[in-house]
């Protein structure tokens, strides 16, 4: 269910007997306060009413964008990363650790041999561009099941290979998104192996959220009980840097 802000403000104002014409409402000194509260209420309702398990829309192949630009880091550029890229990630391992019973170090071949999900979805960057692309990857759930999440795990953190403005990029999701069927560790895009620009060897796709959640160059998946102990404490690079929302639902 999608609530538009206007409907909700209308609803709240009407419920309070305040809606006796927009002009009057605009002039009322309390208007700004009501609007602010409505904004908060809107967010709260949107979050609690939207079904977090619902699938993001999937598109047809003919709807795919002819060009899917890159954004943020387009090459981590460190000597370690370059060595991995040069050897086509043959010696690279994905670390899966933290609050798990069996820490894993998975090769790209192992990840690619796991069941693959392919989905054509729309990527929405907060900067105002969108592209439709096809992603191929292993459902994160299968990786977490293999590692055996401990019962105190609450979030999954994705540590990336790149520094952005000198700080490591990272992101995190809660377990609802971690186990969502469209949440995948993607190793392919548009019928090819993931390019360096789009996050090789793997990147996260968490399709119900905005672009900055889609961590590229994922090196380590860490299960934690509390995001406050991770880096700046707000659960992601942009969340720490400029107060982007941690839950970036669309
Ligand atoms: N590691 C890492 N992941 C990242 C970023 C980044 O700079 N570094 N940028 C984010 C942003 S803001 C967007 S819009 C998408 C861009 O993905 P693309 O380069 O495949 O288009 O990656 C996200 N994931
Ligand atoms: Mo973005």
CATH number for 82:
3.90.420.10
Q: How many independent structural domains does the chain possess?
A: 1
Say how far apart CA 90 and CA 150 lie, in whole Å. Answer: 30
Please list the ranges in the chain whose pLDDT falls under 70.
Answer: 1-49
pLDDT for position 27: 44
Is residue 247 one of the residues assigned to a domain? no
Q: How far away, in angstroms, is 239 Cα from ligand 1 center?
A: 14
Is residue 249 one of the residues assigned to a domain? no
Say how far apart CA 177 and CA 141 lie, in whole Å. Answer: 10
Look at ligand 1, atom 11, and give the residue with the nearest C-alpha. 212
Helix axes 31-49, 5-15, angle to 10 degrees: 120
pLDDT for position 112: 98
Residue 127 CA: which ligand is closest? 2
Q: How far away, in angstroms, is 161 Cα from ligand 2 center?
A: 17
Is residue 90 one of the residues assigned to a domain? yes
Say how far apart CA 181 and CA 54 lie, in whole Å. Answer: 9
Locate the ligand 1 atom nearest the alpha carbon of residue 125 and give its number.
14
pLDDT for position 247: 97
Is residue 213 one of the residues assigned to a domain? yes
Locate the ligand 1 atom nearest the alpha carbon of residue 161 and give its number.
1
Locate the ligand 1 atom nearest the alpha carbon of residue 162 and give its number.
1
Q: What are the residues whose beta carbons fall under 8 Å from the beta carbon of 31, sequence distance 6 or more?
A: 25
Is residue 73 one of the residues assigned to a domain? yes
Is residue 204 one of the residues assigned to a domain? yes
Give this prediction's pTM: 0.84
Structural domain boundaries, residue 102: 5-242
């Amino acid at each position: 269910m999608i609530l538009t802000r206007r409907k909700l403000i209308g609803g709240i104002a009407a419920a309070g007997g305040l809606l006796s014409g927009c002009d009057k409402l605009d002039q009322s000194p309390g208007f700004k306060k009501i609007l602010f509260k409505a904004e908060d209420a809107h967010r709260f309702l949107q979050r609690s009413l939207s079904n977090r398990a619902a699938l993001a829309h999937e598109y047809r192949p003919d709807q795919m964008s002819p060009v899917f630009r890159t954004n943020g880091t387009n090459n981590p550029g460190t000597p370690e990363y370059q060595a991995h890229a040069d050897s086509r990630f043959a010696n690279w391992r994905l670390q899966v650790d933290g609050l798990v019973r069996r820490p894993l170090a998975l090769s790209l071949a192992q990840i690619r041999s796991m069941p693959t999900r392919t989905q054509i979805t729309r990527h929405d960057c907060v900067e105002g561009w969108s592209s439709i692309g096809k992603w191929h990857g292993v459902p994160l759930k299968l990786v977490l099941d293999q590692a055996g999440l401990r019962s105190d795990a609450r979030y999954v953190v994705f540590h990336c290979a790149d520094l952005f403005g000198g700080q490591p990029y990272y992101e995190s999701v809660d377990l609802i998104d971690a186990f969502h069927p469209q949440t995948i560790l993607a190793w392919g895009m548009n019928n090819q192996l993931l390019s360096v620009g789009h996050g090789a060897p793997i990147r996260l796709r968490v399709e119900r959220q905005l672009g900055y959640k889609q961590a590229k160059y994922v090196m380590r998946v860490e299960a934690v009980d509390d995001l406050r102990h991770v880096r700046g404490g707000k659960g992601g690079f942009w969340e720490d840097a400029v107060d982007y929302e941690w839950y970036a639902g669309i």
